[in-house]
Structures are given as C-alpha cells and as structure tokens.
Structure 1
C-alpha cells in the first residue's frame, strides 16, 4: 500500500507502457512539448472532461471527470467518463445521492487515434477500474475504449492477466520514480511521432539535420 505522498498520476501509466523514458521526462523532469497529436488529444478531452455534465441515455447515466485513486497501485487521477448501469441487486453495485436504486460503474476512456498494437490503452482503463473497485469494494469486469479517429467503442474485459500487467507496470513506475534516473533512450520507429523527440534525443536529431544540410549544400556546390 502506497502513502499519499507516494501517489503518481494514473494517466502516466499509458505513457510508461508506450515508453518509460517519455514517462520519466514528463513526470520526473517535468518536460513537455506539443505537437499535432497532443493538441488533438487535448481538444478531444476538453469536450469530454466536464465534471458538471451528467448525460442520461435511457437508463444509463454518464458521469464525467470523477476523481479516483488506489493505494494498492499508488495511482490517482480523473476519469473521462463512468457510465452507471442499473442493477437489480446491490452486488458489485453502488448508490448515488441523485439517483435511486443500485448502479454498476462502467469506465469509458476516450482516445484520439485508433486501437494500438500493444496494451497501453487497456492498462490505463484497467487502472481506472481497479481504482473504482478499491474505492467502492466492488468488482468491475468490463470497461470500454472509444477511439475518435474511427468513431468506434471497444469493450474491454478486465482480465486477471490485464490486472497483473497493470500492477506490474504501476510498480515499475514507482521504482523508476524513486531512483529519479532517466531510462536510456531506445530509438524506435514511433519516436518520430513523439512530441518530446527533440528533448529525448537531441544528438540524434541534430545529426540528422546536419547530415541533410550537408547533403543538400554539398550537392549544390558540386553541381
């Protein structure tokens, strides 16, 4: 169990799954840079993250921007949306002071792009579900990921293997944070899309720019 002083931002678990170095640059060294992808993501969440917005669609109620935390994971954050689905029993359900009866929480995370080749989005969703489970003493077997680019929602089963991966990832985040040591750079094909590429690997980028400059100008001199 982690103390309040040891809590880390839940949203960072997706960054950590994508690239531990990127996560450390943001959450340890407080580095940040914008690009087209980050801007689009912020615009999407600007429309989603409204804590005063309560949408009722039939029997389903959607709550926005709920504050959640788990001392077991050592993570805290704010959800995009949690749908409350009506339940006939109190088992794995909660009550709400504005709505009568029992409700089963169903977390929904909004993403700018499309389904990823790894489980970074699933881990973030699982962490949200595990926070809600710890807070309310319930079990949440399913959640959903909504991808804006393809306008599609994917139902995600919060399996034991996904939970184990989430716990492992959260522990690794805490281990890196405690050391304060920036993980080594590991250049991949997706690095070009990272807003922090110039901060993360300035030498590599500078070399590439110099190489391009020399080729262009030497070619012009020769010809």
Structure 2
C-alpha cells in the first residue's frame, strides 16, 4: 500500500495514543464492538452529529462539519466549530467526550488534528480549541502550541505506518485501559494471538481455514 494514498481518519489518532493495537483492530482489521462507554459517547454526540449552522449571542456555530487536509492525508468530522473573534471568522473547534479529562494526550491530539485541517481549509491560524467532557460538563481549553503540533504530526506518521504495514501489534494487557475497551473480547489481551491478526485467529479458532 502506497503511503501517499493512505487517508487517515482523525479518530484513528486518538485510538492510536490510547492503544496501538486498538487502532489496528479498528482501522486495519475493520473490527468494531460497542459497550456502555461507546454507547454513552454516541449519545453525547447525537446533538452535534446533525450538520447545521446557527448563530447565538454573536457566535456562529457549525456542527458535524466535514473537514480534511490534503497535505496531511486526514479526513474527519468536527463535532462543533465556533467562529469567534471581532470579525466572527476565527475558528474554534470543540470536541465532545463522554468521560473526564485524561492523563494522556489522545484527546488533545485529536483536537489539534482538527485545527490543522481547519487551518489548511480556511487559510487562517487556529491557536486554540476546547474539549467538552460529559462527566464534568465543563470545557477544557487546549492551546495548539508547538509541542502539541509536533506530537500530532508524529502520531499521524505512526498511524500511517501502521496502516501501510497492515500489522496488528501484540496485546499488552493493562487493566485500567483494557477492561473499559469495547474490543476487549475481540482483542483477548490476556491470551494474545501474537502477531497473527485477530481475523486470522478467529478463522482458525472456528475451524475455517478457507481464504
């Protein structure tokens, strides 16, 4: 697979930083399962998943805005983009999350990638955005500084290499991460099938050796 032809969903960056194996299961092996956490997240997004534009209190807001970057090979949908500033043209992306702020930077990287897309699409700097967490019902403002931008570009390259190589990383069980993952039963981190893909392992376990 030619790396220049790989288009990466922005959500894959968040998946990769949470767990590279989860990212591969979803974006290489095309597997998915839902649990209470993903269902709650889906419900939280319902309000912003319908494309529309509205203006309230002098702020124009676009929801479910399709975004992308030809230069970075990214595509995705921004939950909410507010247009603020004196001229009402400054993009301010807002991403909705079901839980609470994380110790890792996966959510920040996902939001920063949205900002990079908006900068390319609109030709204007996007210095900051916000993460809205359903559990706390509060926004956390995120500055897109040089460090976060560099990390985001690094993760884009790592995800592109993962998809290009079509290899699923081995499982590394961590209770705090794995037990809440909707792919737990498919991943089987306590009994990893090694570098054999989950699809291959399932086929073998079911006695189906046909290709």
Both structures adopt the same fold (TM-score exceeding 0.5) = yes
Separation of aligned partners in 1, 2:129 and 2:190: 42
User: 1:204: how far off?
Assistant: 3.2
Question: Which secondary structure state, in structure 1, belongs to the residue aligned with residue 95 of structure 2?
Answer: strand
User: 1:197: how far off?
Assistant: 1.1
Question: Which secondary structure state, in structure 1, belongs to the residue aligned with residue 46 of structure 2?
Answer: helix
User: 1:72: how far off?
Assistant: 3.0
**Which residue is equivalent to 1:33?**
33
Q: Structure 1: any 5+ residue segments left out of the alignment?
A: 89-101, 206-223
CA contact (8 A) 1:73 1:171 kept: no
Could you say what the CA RMSD is over the residues aligned between the two structures, in angstroms?
A: 1.6
1:41-81 Cα offsets, whole Å, 9 max, x none, are: 111111221103x3322111110111111133221001100
TM-score, length of structure 2 as denominator length: 0.85
Higher normalized contact order (CA 8 Å, seq sep 6+, divided by chain length): 2
**Which residue is equivalent to 1:77?**
76
Separation of aligned partners in 2, 1:197 and 1:62: 37
TM-score, length of structure 1 as denominator length: 0.81
Q: Structure 2: any 5+ residue segments left out of the alignment?
A: 193-211
User: 1:203: how far off?
Assistant: 5.6
Q: For 1:14-163, list aligned pairs within 5 A.
A: 14-52=14-52, 54-88=53-87, 102-163=88-149
CA contact (8 A) 2:67 2:77 kept: yes
Question: Which secondary structure state, in structure 1, belongs to the residue aligned with residue 47 of structure 2?
Answer: helix
Q: For 1:182-221, list aligned pairs within 5 A.
A: 182-189=168-175, 190-201=177-188, 204=191
Separation of aligned partners in 2, 1:186 and 1:74: 29
